[in-house]
Amino acid sequence: MELKAKWCSSLVKVFPDTEPESEPFRSGTALQGETFSFQLAYNPVDFHLSEIRIELESELKKSISIRRVNLVPGEYPGCNFDEDYISRRPGFYPDLLSSLENNAVAAVCNQWRALWFKVAVPENCRPGKYTIGVKLSVEFPGTQEKPIRKKLSFRLEVLGARLPAQTLLNTHWFHSDCLAVYYKTAVFSEEYWHIVGNFMKSAAEHGINMILTPLFTPPLDTLPGAERPTVQLIDVTRTKGRYSFRFEKLDRWIALAEKCGIGYLEFSHLFSQGGAAFAPKIIAMAEGVEKCIFNRDVKSDSKEYVSFLDTFLPELAAHLRKKGLQDKVYFHCSDEPGLQHIETYEKASGIMRRHLKGFKIMDALSSVEYYKRGLVAIPVASEPHLEEFLAAGVKELWTYYCCSPTVTYPNRFLPMPSSRNRILGTLLYYLGISGFLHWGFNFYFARGSRYPIDPYRCTDAGCAYPAGDPFLVYPGRDGRPEDSIRYEVFREGLQDQRAMQFLETRMPREEILKTLDRLSPGGKMSIANYPRGEKSMLAVREKINRLIRKYSA
């Protein structure tokens, strides 16, 4: 019997049947205020039904957490692949990070598994080199087998530079209806607000500083005939054809987001997905009876809905100005309209622009024509079309990926290597991007919101999207989220961007860009051309850290 163990970087995905091929990762560097992660892969050779106990020794012990990496199913890995995938097959993938029980993990005989170490380096941490010592021990009570003892150590160097505050705006769409359904709690109950707060706080800790806010039930990912649970924050009353509004729930949502550390709000779309053809679902107390007054059966340019918006938007704008939020909120018209929808979108967005002067409106799209016609001041360009928007000179340009692209570009699917997830932060810095958007922070429904799914068993919205696309966090016990490898690695990418921004205070941006070019294939970085693989991605950050050390001495 033997206990094999090997240090790995956070970018390695440890599979049960294969020893990690990467070189041992025994040391790293981090800035003050940075969250640094690494892994310990282990394999209990020829023993089972035992616990592996973990003891930690370090000056930084209070700042270190250890979690086990669990396998999750990836039934649908996608259908289009390039060479930069770990696998093209359905199977189990390491992703879910769960807390240890009694500082121990179960030994799974002859399988490689991993422990995830996270060091939340304090902002006032003394610069220097710190040893993180780990003792692994296994007992075999009731047998003649000798206990196994193993000692390992990792060295973390903390540089004398503090990670600057995040300037990138970052949203991963927050689906509170999914939380209410999964936890079987009533929308707007005290338990609901408590759970929403737990997930908001987690989002903020991982660099998500903007939250999707459901003015009305978001008209997103809902197939005809399906209906998402009502989560609208605006109380609407209609009496004798006249509308009135109350904003207490919205104000509570805003206060909760602020308390959790989220500084920006994006309001849910006021028109249907994919072209603004219809109204969203809106519930009102109409002539004394609660009912649905608008939905997909109401066209976006109908007299009734236009009249509703003509009343609602001025009142909402006045309320937001009174609260001093004009610069903290973003509006949406319609998600992912195509070029064929431009006339419908122009009508719909025109209503919004008429009433929301001074407010920001943004939408995810692929056609640069929307920007050129002045219909969208803040386009959220899909990765494959990003260069077109850059060439158009967009002042505040965002980007996004979702269920695509599946080839060439960065993304975060389970079958992709973590380096392809993390590199995005470097690319956002290189290209000067203002914001990032993703549709799935916690989408726990099947495609089109046809039925709820169990995220621990289904990671692809019912074999609809590549595994890992619909959510970043798992709904844990007691209404608290459990993290994923993809969640932690994405945060690392954001920290890379912030480290480069710090370096920019010490050397010209142009020189940093040249450095990144030299580290890229062919000597030129782009959204489609970037360092691939664990070794190359780590080399990027190590180079930045060496320059920070040099110029901060």
Cα–Cα distance for residue pair 539/536, rounded to 1 Å = 5
* Alpha carbon 61 to its chain's center: 27
Q: Quick one: pLDDT at residue 24?
A: 87
User: Nearest-CA neighbor of 13 among 418, 490, 517?
Assistant: 418
Cα–Cα distance for residue pair 262/282, rounded to 1 Å = 26
Predicted model pTM: 0.97
How is the chain split into domains, by residue range?
Answer: 2-162, 169-492, 509-552
Q: Can you name the CATH fold of 2-162? A: Immunoglobulin-like (2.60.40)
Cα–Cα distance for residue pair 519/508, rounded to 1 Å = 17
- 396 and 378 in contact (C-beta within 8 Å)? yes
Q: Say which CATH class 169-492 falls into.
A: alpha beta
pLDDT grade, residue 359 (50/70/90)?
A: very high
- 6 and 20 in contact (C-beta within 8 Å)? yes
Q: Is the pLDDT of residue 126 over 80?
A: yes
- 37 and 118 in contact (C-beta within 8 Å)? yes
Helices (H) and strands (E) in the chain, counts: 11, 24
Q: Is the pLDDT of residue 206 over 80?
A: yes
Q: Which residues of 378-394 are buried (b: 16+ CB within 10 A; e: fewer)?
A: bbbbbbbbbebbbeeeb
Cα–Cα distance for residue pair 150/156, rounded to 1 Å = 20
User: Nearest-CA neighbor of 341 among 386, 373, 298, 309?
Assistant: 373
Distances (CA, A) of 354 to 140, 154, 320, 357: 74, 59, 16, 7
Q: Quick one: pLDDT at residue 374?
A: 96
- 87 and 18 in contact (C-beta within 8 Å)? no
The number of beta carbons lying within 10 Å of the beta carbon of residue 371 is: 20
Q: Using one digit for the tens of pLDDT, what is the confidence trace for 41-66?
A: 999 999 988 999 999 999 999 999 99
Cα–Cα distance for residue pair 13/284, rounded to 1 Å = 49
Q: Quick one: pLDDT at residue 553?
A: 75
Mean pLDDT of 507-530: 98
Q: What does the DSSP 8-state code read for residue 228?
A: P
Start-to-end CA distance of the chain, whole Å, equals 49
Cα–Cα distance for residue pair 34/460, rounded to 1 Å = 31
Q: Using one digit for the tens of pLDDT, what is the confidence trace for 87-118?
A: 999 999 999 999 999 999 999 999 999 999 99
48 Rama sector, left if φ>0, alpha if ψ -120 to 50, beta otherwise: beta
Cα–Cα distance for residue pair 464/142, rounded to 1 Å = 50
Q: Is the pLDDT of residue 85 over 80?
A: yes
Q: Which residues of 278-305 are buried (b: 16+ CB within 10 A; e: fewer)?
A: bbbbbbbebeeeeeebbbbebbbbeeeb
When the pLDDT of each residue in the chain is averaged and rounded to a whole number, the result is 97
Beta strand extents in 188-288 (DSSP E only): 210-213, 235-239, 242-246, 264-267, 282-286
User: Judging by beta carbons within 10 Å of its beta carbon (0-12, 13-18, 19+), is residue 63 exposed, middle or buried?
Assistant: middle
Q: Using one digit for the tens of pLDDT, what is the confidence trace for 207-226?
A: 999 999 999 999 999 998 89
Cα–Cα distance for residue pair 113/439, rounded to 1 Å = 30
Q: Quick one: pLDDT at residue 243?
A: 98
| 22-26, 230-234, 475-479: the lowest-pLDDT one | 22-26
Q: Quick one: pLDDT at residue 225?
A: 87
Sequence letter at residue 390: L
